[in-house]
């Protein structure tokens, strides 16, 4: 008697996911980099065989891509590493605000998206997901690339959330000198213990991530991007300055990278290593921290532990180690006008 092939719900979603991947691969054969944005400050290049998407502002208002060979020179370069999701479009208003607040006359601000967190792909990296270590290596290549382009510039870093962890790794693993570092709600230790990590880890490990990724990509295929962006515009509050980026976030490749990186963060960001501790102490005068008072990713217990570890004197602590400014800024500060203004001033006053 012939056997009946039984398909579970999870098998069904696996099949749907596979179909979506195949459809993504063969929908269009890209011959180079596919660019998607109309933002005149958003550029795409390839650094170390990784598609790199970045937003820039410069003191001379240049619209020439700063990560490609050009004749520009800058005294100060501030490189921003985003959190997860590392879709760089989210940081456009932050970069614009920083540019208005900057106090030096010759500067370049570059917010560099995370590897894989973009719609711009080539055949080589389409469908590839990047873990935390691969993100670190990609950042090292970018910083070295910037140093080669601008050998005399002072390079400073600002890292938001896991971007702060990437900044810490640049200090210990990249042979380019970093002038100053700004840790913005940085998740640099014991991330797996936080209440947000526990919640998301439980969701993703129970197999729901395949459903989320497949369903999200299905929406992005069936629903035009202008409708998704319209929905976002209606839903966001008056203080919310995030520009529509939902069509990027719902992309199969992007969302796969977001979830894969999150799982990698939970597994790898544990106790600070001896090397990291030494770096934080040795460079204490060059590193500035800002934290919120109620942060599901960086609880105050982590803040207090880091404070004791660094051993700032009282005068230095006021300048270098800040918990809340003017009001309780949020972990996702980058999408709120008031929070962006506070964090921008925090950085530019110390540059």
Q: What pLDDT shows up at residue 3? A: 47
pLDDT of residue 7: 45
User: What is the pLDDT, as a whole number, of residue 241?
Assistant: 60
Residues shown for the chain: 351
pLDDT in tens, 163-191: 999 999 999 999 999 999 999 999 999 88
Average pLDDT value for the chain: 81
Report angle CA 271, 276, 280 to the nearest 5 degrees: 115
Q: Over 60: is that where the pLDDT of 16 sits?
A: no
Is 70 exceeded by the pLDDT of residue 123?
Answer: no
Smallest Cα–Cα separation from 193: which of 301, 85, 277?
301
Q: What is the pLDDT of residue 349?
A: 93
Query: What is the average pLDDT across 112-116?
Result: 93
Identify the helix (H) or strand (E) that includes residue 44.
strand 42-47
pTM score over 0.85: no
Domain 33-348, CATH homologous superfamily name and number: Alpha/Beta hydrolase fold, catalytic domain (3.40.50.1820)
**For residue range 31-77, what is the model confidence (pLDDT) as tens digits?**
333 334 568 889 988 898 888 899 999 999 988 999 988 777 899 99
Average pLDDT over residues 12-24: 53
Q: Which residue, chain included where needed, has tokens 């009282």?
A: 314
pLDDT tens-digit readout, 193-247: 888 777 777 666 656 666 666 666 666 666 666 666 666 666 555 555 655 565 5
> Nearest Cα to 251, choosing from 53, 68, 110?
53
The answer to whether 44 and 125 are in contact (CB under 8 A) is: no
């Amino acid at each position: 008697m012939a056997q009946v092939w039984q398909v579970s719900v999870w098998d069904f979603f696996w099949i749907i996911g596979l179909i979506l991947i195949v459809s993504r691969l063969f929908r269009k054969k890209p011959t180079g980099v596919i660019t998607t944005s109309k933002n005149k400050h958003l550029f795409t290049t390839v650094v170390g065989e990784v598609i790199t998407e970045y937003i820039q502002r410069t003191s001379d208002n240049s619209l020439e891509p700063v990560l490609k060979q050009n004749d520009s020179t800058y005294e100060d370069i501030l490189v921003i590493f985003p959190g997860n999701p590392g879709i760089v479009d989210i940081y456009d208003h932050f970069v614009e605000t920083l540019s208005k607040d900057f106090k030096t006359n010759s500067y370049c601000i570059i917010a560099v998206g995370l590897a894989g967190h973009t719609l711009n792909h080539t055949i080589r990296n389409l469908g590839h997901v990047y873990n935390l270590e691969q993100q670190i290596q990609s950042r090292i290549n970018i910083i070295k690339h910037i140093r080669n382009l601008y050998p005399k510039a002072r390079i400073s870093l600002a890292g938001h959330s896991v971007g702060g962890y990437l900044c810490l790794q640049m200090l210990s693993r990249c042979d380019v000198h970093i002038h100053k570092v700004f840790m913005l709600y940085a998740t640099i230790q014991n991330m797996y213990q936080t209440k947000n990590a526990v919640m998301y880890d439980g969701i993703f490990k129970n197999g729901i991530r395949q459903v989320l990724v497949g369903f999200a990509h299905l929406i992005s295929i069936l629903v035009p991007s202008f409708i998704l962006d319209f929905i976002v515009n209606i839903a966001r509050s008056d203080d919310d300055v995030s520009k529509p980026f939902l069509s990027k976030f719902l992309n199969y490749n992007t969302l796969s990278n977001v979830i894969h990186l999150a799982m990698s963060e939970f597994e790898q960001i544990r106790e600070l290593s001896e090397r990291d501790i030494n770096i934080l102490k040795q460079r204490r005068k060059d590193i500035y921290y800002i934290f919120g008072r109620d942060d599901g990713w960086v609880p105050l217990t982590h803040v207090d532990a880091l404070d004791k570890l660094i051993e700032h004197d009282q005068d230095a602590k006021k300048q270098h180690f800040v918990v809340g400014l003017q009001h309780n800024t949020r972990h996702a500060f980058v999408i709120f006008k008031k929070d962006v203004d506070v964090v921008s001033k925090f950085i530019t006053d110390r540059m």
